[in-house]
Amino acid sequence: MKKWIGLSLAALLIAGCEKLEESVESLKRLEEEGVIKVKTVKAYTVEQQDGLTQEIAGVVAPLKELPLSFGRSGRIATIFVKKGSVVKQGETLAALDTSVWQQEVNAAQGQVASAAIRRAKALQGPAQHEVEAQKIQLEKARQTAAQAAEEHARGKLLYANGAISKDELDSLALRERQAKLDLEEQQIRYDNLLKGADKLDVEAANAEVQQASVQLMRARQEAADAVLKAPFAGVVASISQAESEQTGPGSEVMRLVDTSRWLVKLQVTGEQIGSFAVGKTVTVQAPDGTETEGTVSFVAPVIDSGTGTYPVEVTISGQERVWKGGMTVTCRYQVKPNGGVLVPASGVGISEESYYVMAIKDNTVKKTPVKVGNVYGPYYEVLEGLEPGDQIVSSGISYVADGEVVKVADE
């Protein structure tokens, strides 16, 4: 019995020693792991970059889109095109009933022709037969005046001898004066005919021609307003009215779109606007992958208070025929740092109004102040504090401390 008790105590002592050794080994392992275990971080190696490609979304719009309407009221007689028709500049698209205005044009043309004939006649002066006829009238007036003077002289003698009365003598004197006045008038007419064209007649004829020409221009303009022509080459995007409908100025009949070139409208942030300038080349990609080169044609000088961005327009060619108004496209453009290097924005921190990065050297983190420039999308431009080849923590910089030992992921 005592023997079994001794053996049991020995066994308990051996088992206790083994558990104690296991506990000691466990503590040692935990201590070693606490010393060796370090944080794993993602790193970014700074490189000298000549440029960086950035992307921004834009919306396609026609370069020219115009609602078309007639210049006057009337009934639409004919529409010569349909939706989707490709038209040339100056092509007739629709017309009103022009019968009334055409009559006005014809009447005005007749007035101009008549006035022109009268002016030509005034410029030529009197015809030869008019001069000869006036010469005959002048000779008759001269004979009448001579006869009246002779009768007046004879009357004076008769009155002196008491053969006629004083009233009869006065009547002869009046007839002589009237004959002289008629002679003078006929002489003036004859002299004017010999001078040629009368200046006043020519001026009156010119004024008549000018007035008739103005009436003709007005009639033609009214007739032209009744015809709708394409102001530029393009595609008929829609037709709002039909033949036989009444229409008038400002009432849209159809809409014309110029598809030879398109605009891509961008909303650019203040951080990106420095990368855009008129004339810069931009690559535009359609949703189906089609790409074309575009040119920046407009950069707003002031910010849009409604969106907080700067409106920018890129002009592209319509040769590919994939562009549609309202389509969302992707624009890629090149960014060139101003002498600095580009690092991920997630790797730059702000402390007391200054910027810093967590540089990695010999697996140890060091908080390093930097001077930043522009922001290019997800990248900061670092002007001072970093050199090509330096390595920094690229994300999660708030989880590491200055002087902490780290391990770079996948290194």
Quick one: 356 and 295 in the same domain?
no
> Which is more confident, 317 or 86?
86
Range scoring the smallest mean pLDDT among 2-11, 197-206, 239-248: 2-11
pLDDT at 198 over 80: no
pLDDT of 30 reads 46
Please give the Cα distance from 113 to 278 (Å, whole number): 56
Residue 10 forms part of a structural domain:
no
Residue 212 forms part of a structural domain:
yes
pLDDT of 1 reads 47
Number of domains in the chain: 3
Quick one: 169 and 270 in the same domain?
no
Residue 398: partners with Cβ closer than 8 Å, 6 or more residues away: 349
- The average pLDDT across 322-346 equals 85
Please give the Cα distance from 378 to 271 (Å, whole number): 11
Quick one: 294 and 268 in the same domain?
yes
pLDDT of 31 reads 47
Provide the residue range defining the domain that includes 132. 106-220
Which of residues 335, 366, 382 is at a domain's end? 335
Quick one: 322 and 351 in the same domain?
no
pLDDT at 117 over 80: no
Q: Is the dihedral of CA 132, 137, 138, 143 positive or negative?
A: positive
Please give the Cα distance from 56 to 65 (Å, whole number): 25
Please give the Cα distance from 346 to 379 (Å, whole number): 8
Confidence of residue 201 (pLDDT cuts 50, 70, 90): low
Residue 373: partners with Cβ closer than 8 Å, 6 or more residues away: 337, 338, 340, 380, 381, 382, 383
Which of residues 292, 311, 335 is at a domain's end? 335
> Which is more confident, 196 or 357?
357
pLDDT at 271 over 80: no
Confidence of residue 127 (pLDDT cuts 50, 70, 90): low
Residue 58 forms part of a structural domain:
yes
Quick one: 116 and 192 in the same domain?
yes
> Which is more confident, 49 or 100?
49
pTM recorded for the entire structure: 0.53
pLDDT at 125 over 70: no
User: Is residue 220 classed exposed, middle or buried when 0-12, 13-18 and 19+ CB atoms within 10 A define those classes?
Assistant: middle
pLDDT of 13 reads 45
- The average pLDDT across 263-279 equals 89
| Cα–Cα nearest to 257, from 237, 240, 230 | 237
Quick one: 352 and 373 in the same domain?
yes
Range scoring the smallest mean pLDDT among 2-11, 141-150, 211-220, 227-236: 2-11
Quick one: 306 and 361 in the same domain?
no
Q: Domain with 399 in it: what CATH number? A: 2.40.420.20
Quick one: 298 and 388 in the same domain?
no
**Alpha helix (H) ranges present in 161-269?**
166-195, 199-224
- The average pLDDT across 220-229 equals 74
pLDDT at 55 over 50: yes
- The average pLDDT across 349-378 equals 87
Residue 293 forms part of a structural domain:
yes
pLDDT in tens, 5-35: 444 444 444 555 555 465 546 545 544 444 5
pLDDT of 295 reads 94
Quick one: 346 and 322 in the same domain?
no
Residue 279 forms part of a structural domain:
yes
Residue 199 forms part of a structural domain:
yes
Quick one: 113 and 189 in the same domain?
yes
Residue 104: partners with Cβ closer than 8 Å, 6 or more residues away: 219, 222, 223
- The average pLDDT across 98-123 equals 66
pLDDT of 366 reads 93
Query: SS3 sequence, 18-68?
Result: HHHHHHHHHHHHHHHHHHHCCEEECEEECCCCCCEEEEEEEEEEEEEEEEE
pLDDT of 310 reads 95
pLDDT of 67 reads 95
pLDDT in tens, 278-298: 999 999 999 999 899 999 999
Quick one: 292 and 266 in the same domain?
yes
Which of residues 315, 335, 355 is at a domain's end? 335
pLDDT of 322 reads 85
Q: Domain with 304 in it: what CATH number? A: 2.40.30.170
pLDDT of 7 reads 47
Residue 100 forms part of a structural domain:
no
Residue 177 forms part of a structural domain:
yes
Quick one: 112 and 213 in the same domain?
yes
- The average pLDDT across 370-396 equals 86
Q: Domain with 188 in it: what CATH number? A: 1.10.287.470
pLDDT at 235 over 90: yes
The residue type at 155: G
- The average pLDDT across 142-166 equals 87
φ and ψ at 301, to 5 degrees?
Answer: -80, -15
Please give the Cα distance from 292 to 261 (Å, whole number): 12
